[in-house]
Structure 1
Amino acid sequence: MSPTALVVRHVVFEDLGLLREVLTERGYGIRYLEAGQDEITAGELLAADLVVVLGGPIGVGDADRYPFLAPEIAAITARVEANRPTLGVCLGAQLMAAAMGVAVAPTGGVEIGFSPLTLTEAGAGSVLEGLRDVPVLHWHGDQFEIPAGADRLAETPGFPNQAFAAGPNLLGLQFHLEVDPQMVETWLIANAYELAMHDLDPREIRADALELAPRLTDAARGVVGAWIDELERS
């Protein structure tokens, strides 16, 4: 029986993207849970071999306005406390961090567009090693603290906490490794107001996406492939 990857999706256009092919090549069957529509329970998350929690334009602090967030965080808490393989992307990483007991809060600024990471010493020896000098897509304004017992893996000048890992099973990424050029156009349309509000030109992001596509595709495959290798060895 093939292993299952359960994917928690918050908005339709933020899906697995480049990560889907890697997971299917490694034998995973993929199923989505739509946050805010499908019930997300601890039992369901615990039953999956692998869980991926994707991004979205809301934040951990919005649970009073988006009440599905509280049971979602509770389900993720059960998953991470059981130390079951879990990957969080942007909001997903923030939800993991909250589930692991640390603060997640707005920074008062945003980081939108492609720029490289600086890997920490721990990050340089981690599954993120292949991202050295590779610009990745950032689209966030909130930031998580690093959970107790986890390693801080990467930073940028405005956001010092870009990734964390707690052992081989728990990996949180603030940036969007999953986005391919076809997805970027949908992001630009969906976030037109936010781009205008911050005086950001969609033409620059689009051009960067097209130019970087081959490197980003290789990098995404390399990181997720290396992570799955670690899971299989552990």
Structure 2
Amino acid sequence: MKTAIALRHLAFEDAGILGSVLMERGITLFYVDVATADLSQLDNAKIDLLLILGGPISVNDGALFPFIASELALVQQRLELGLPTLGLCLGAQLIAKALGANIYPGKQAEIGWYPLRLSSSAQHSPVKHLSSAMTTMFHWHGETFDLPAGATLLASSDRYENQIFSWGEKVMAVQCHPEVFTASLEHWFVGHICELSKSGISVMALREASTQYGPKLEQQTRLFFTDWLESIGL
């Protein structure tokens, strides 16, 4: 039996559509809540796929959240072993940090629905399913990172150059949020209402855009993730 572990930082920022695809493929998904878990007990050799999910904190918040150091150590070991790893948002930043890249605030937060611009390298990658011709992407982040040495840039947005990159054959970092179920975004609107209010973003407008673009993204994410799993032998 194949096993996937999802490192979760916030209860409602889960694996979403990715979890459904894993279940359909007979891959068992377990969540590990990193804020309270002992990550030293995880054995990378026994994890067929590691998903590193999003959250509202920064990779640079290690002084506030000591678990970040343990999480980085787990990710670094996994990358050294070349094992299947997919990071989303904060997870992408953890991969970038583990590869030696800098993580820092962007010029402005990117929250809402904006298309991706794919690189030429993405044309033969599972990321092709997430092109602007196919779907509009959901974003929720205020930080970015330099492209790590040896990484291949696959997608950008108008505000943030480094949105998706691959490293080696089995590692992908995704700054944006292709995993979201449209209906589940209601949890995000409640949980992040302070950030939305501070940014002057209307929940009503965000909900309307999510209703418009969400179903198509769900469809394209299934294609993207299925193709990626097949490309890494899962």
Between the two proteins, the alignment pairs up a number of residues equal to: 232
Q: Which runs of 5+ in 2 are unaligned?
A: none
Dislocated runs of 4+, deviation >6 Å: none
Corresponding residue number in structure 1 for 2:28: 29
Residues 6, 45 of structure 1: 8 Å contact kept: no
Letter in 2 for 1:118: R
Q: Report the RMSD for the aligned CA atoms in angstroms.
A: 1.3
Give the SS at the match of 1:175. coil
Give the Å deviation of 1:181. Answer: 1.3
Give the Å deviation of 1:44. Answer: 2.4
Compare 79-88 and 43-52 and name the one that shifted more.
43-52
Give the Å deviation of 1:42. Answer: 7.5
Letter in 1 for 2:51: V
Q: How does 1:200-219 map to 2 (within 5 A)?
A: 200-219=201-220
Letter in 2 for 1:163: I
User: Percent of aligned pairs with the same residue?
Assistant: 35
Normalized against structure 1, the TM-score is what? 0.96
Corresponding residue number in structure 1 for 2:142: 141
In 2: Cα distance, 1:55 partner to 1:211 partner? 23
Letter in 2 for 1:78: Q
Letter in 1 for 2:188: W
Residues 42, 74 of structure 1: 8 Å contact kept: no
The Cα offsets for residues 140-168 of structure 1, whole Å up to 9 and x where unpaired, read as: 01112111111001111110000100133
Give the Å deviation of 1:224. Answer: 0.4
Letter in 2 for 1:28: I
Give the Å deviation of 1:81. Answer: 1.0
Residues 111, 138 of structure 1: 8 Å contact kept: yes
Corresponding residue number in structure 1 for 2:177: 176
Letter in 2 for 1:68: F
Letter in 1 for 2:138: L
The Cα offsets for residues 64-100 of structure 1, whole Å up to 9 and x where unpaired, read as: 1111101110111001111100000000000011111
The Cα offsets for residues 198-221 of structure 1, whole Å up to 9 and x where unpaired, read as: 111111111111122321111110
Corresponding residue number in structure 1 for 2:56: 57
Compare 213-222 and 34-43 and name the one that shifted more.
34-43
The Cα offsets for residues 3-32 of structure 1, whole Å up to 9 and x where unpaired, read as: 000110000000011111101111101111
Letter in 2 for 1:183: S
Corresponding residue number in structure 2 for 1:66: 65
In 1: Cα distance, 2:5 partner to 2:95 partner? 15
Residue 121 to residue 39, structure 1, CA distance change in 2 (3 Å): same
Give the SS at the match of 1:194. helix
Give the Å deviation of 1:55. Answer: 0.2
Corresponding residue number in structure 1 for 2:76: 77
Corresponding residue number in structure 1 for 2:15: 16
Compare 213-222 and 29-38 and name the one that shifted more.
213-222
Give the SS at the match of 2:64. coil
Give the Å deviation of 1:105. Answer: 1.1
Give the Å deviation of 1:125. Answer: 2.1
In 1: Cα distance, 2:149 partner to 2:26 partner? 32
Is 1:127 aligned to 2:130, yes or no? no
Normalized against structure 2, the TM-score is what? 0.96
